[in-house]
Chains A and B, each alone.
Chain A
Amino acid sequence: DTGVSQDPRHKITKRGQNVTFRCDPISEHNRLYWYRQTLGQGPEFLTYFQNEAQLEKSRLLSDRFSAERPKGSFSTLEIQRTEQGDSAMYLCASSLDGSGRSGRWGNYNEQFFGPGTRLTVL
């Protein structure tokens, strides 16, 4: 397994267009997360899935944003009617859930991040 992958790596779009990003998690991971990171800031949590279920959504995730993970494997994040303020790096991460699994950090669901998709809205 090569880790978390994201596609595309870069996307330039015009204001008002819709964009969709894809994330492929580490294959045995049942959790998948989306974060947004702007220049000079830390990642901000958007949402996460456990298997197919979307368990938590940030209020940052306005009604123009929708995320899906239909089969519990890859996920898509769609932004409708993009605005210049949506320009950011969109990071995906995956993990096991923390229940009774032992790893490097014990029973802890370490999040492994992908390389991100950089979105520029003109």
Chain B
Amino acid sequence: QKEVEQDPGPLSVPEGAIVSLNCTYSNSAFQYFMWYRQYSRKGPELLMYTYSSGNKEDGRFTAQVDKSSKYISLFIRDSQPSDSATYLCAMRKNTNAGKSTFGDGTTLTVKP
């Protein structure tokens, strides 16, 4: 079983919808959590980073972490067609760790 599980989707929503993306993890040593966006044929790009349980907001994006349940979420408000991409969650054991462990990504399509 993988350390990080992510629903692959695909997820299709109309423009303006609220999108919820989720990951679960099994290793309680993970303390730092990231969300990346990856467009086709491109490298991943960091969207959000958080290390504490609770919510963190950045514009239309909110990252939520529940360490007791080993569950993280990314919410996208007012979704736009340009948000169509694959979203990857990733985790690390400490802020200075080299290795990030990724989920397999959720493919999102936002329809105009």
Interface residues of A (CB under 8 A from B): 4, 31, 33, 40-45, 48, 50, 55-56, 58, 91, 93, 97-99, 105, 107-116
Q: Within the assembled complex, what's the spacing in Å between the Cα atoms of A108 and B101?
A: 16
- The secondary structure that dominates the A interface is loop
CB of A26 to closest CB in B, whole Å: 13
Establish whether residues B95 and A109, one from each chain, have CB atoms under 8 Å apart when the complex forms: yes
Q: Within the assembled complex, what's the spacing in Å between the Cα atoms of A107 and B32?
A: 12
Contacts A113-B44, A115-B41; is A105 near B49 (CB within 8 Å)? yes
Establish whether residues A108 and B49, one from each chain, have CB atoms under 8 Å apart when the complex forms: yes
Which residues from chain B contact A45 at a C-beta distance below 8 Å?
98-101
Contacts A113-B45, A116-B43; is A33 near B98 (CB within 8 Å)? yes
Most chain B beta-carbon contacts within 10 A, residue among A4, A45, A56, A58: A45
Q: Does B96 contact A (CB under 8 A)?
A: yes
Q: Within the assembled complex, what's the spacing in Å between the Cα atoms of A98 and B45?
A: 18
Binds A, one of B12-20, B71-79, B102-110: B102-110
What interface size band does chain B fall in? Answer: 20 to 34
Establish whether residues B46 and A110, one from each chain, have CB atoms under 8 Å apart when the complex forms: yes
Which residues from chain B contact A58 at a C-beta distance below 8 Å?
99
Which residues from chain A contact B42 at a C-beta distance below 8 Å?
115-116
Which residues from chain A contact B41 at a C-beta distance below 8 Å?
115-116
Q: Does B21 contact A (CB under 8 A)?
A: no
Q: Within the assembled complex, what's the spacing in Å between the Cα atoms of A55 and B88?
A: 25
Q: Within the assembled complex, what's the spacing in Å between the Cα atoms of A31 and B97?
A: 11
Establish whether residues B104 and A56, one from each chain, have CB atoms under 8 Å apart when the complex forms: no
User: Could you give 21 example pairs across A and B, Cβ below 8 Å?
Assistant: A31-B98, A33-B98, A40-B104, A40-B105, A41-B104, A42-B4, A42-B6, A42-B88, A43-B88, A43-B102, A44-B102, A45-B99, A45-B101, A48-B98, A50-B98, A97-B96, A107-B95, A111-B46, A115-B41, A115-B43, A116-B43
Q: Within the assembled complex, what's the spacing in Å between the Cα atoms of A16 and B32?
A: 40
Which residues from chain B contact A33 at a C-beta distance below 8 Å?
98
CB of A87 to closest CB in B, whole Å: 15
Which residues from chain B contact A107 at a C-beta distance below 8 Å?
95
Q: Within the assembled complex, what's the spacing in Å between the Cα atoms of A72 and B66?
A: 38
